[in-house]
Amino acid sequence: MENMWESIYSALQKYSSIPGEEWDHFKSLSVHKTVTKKHHFVRAGEPADFIGFCVSGLFRLYYSTPDGNEFKQKFLYEI
């Protein structure tokens, strides 16, 4: 689990310096969640008061039309 946090920390540090105290606070508020194949992290129209990081595998971003057609927009790979 600590390796996961190190990966996220390293990736975020590329964009902005994060003091250790703030990083520890961020980790204390965070929850590790596994999203299994064929399940959704978030769906259109649902409130999302969270963020996520892909640390293993990939996410497929897509939208679907009312008649059920899916259109892939992009893939998000692990950090």
Instruction: Give per-residue pLDDT as tens, 47-62.
Output: 988 999 888 899 988 8
- Residues of the chain whose pLDDT is less than 70? none
pLDDT of residue 14: 95
Q: State the pLDDT at residue 36.
A: 92
Give the CA angle between residues 40, 30, 28 to the nearest 5°: 170
Using alpha carbons, select from 53, 10, 63 the residue that is nearest to residue 32. 53
DSSP 8-state assignment for residue 73: E
Domain boundaries, the chain: 2-77
pTM over the 0.85 mark: no
Structure-block tokens of residue 79: 């950090």
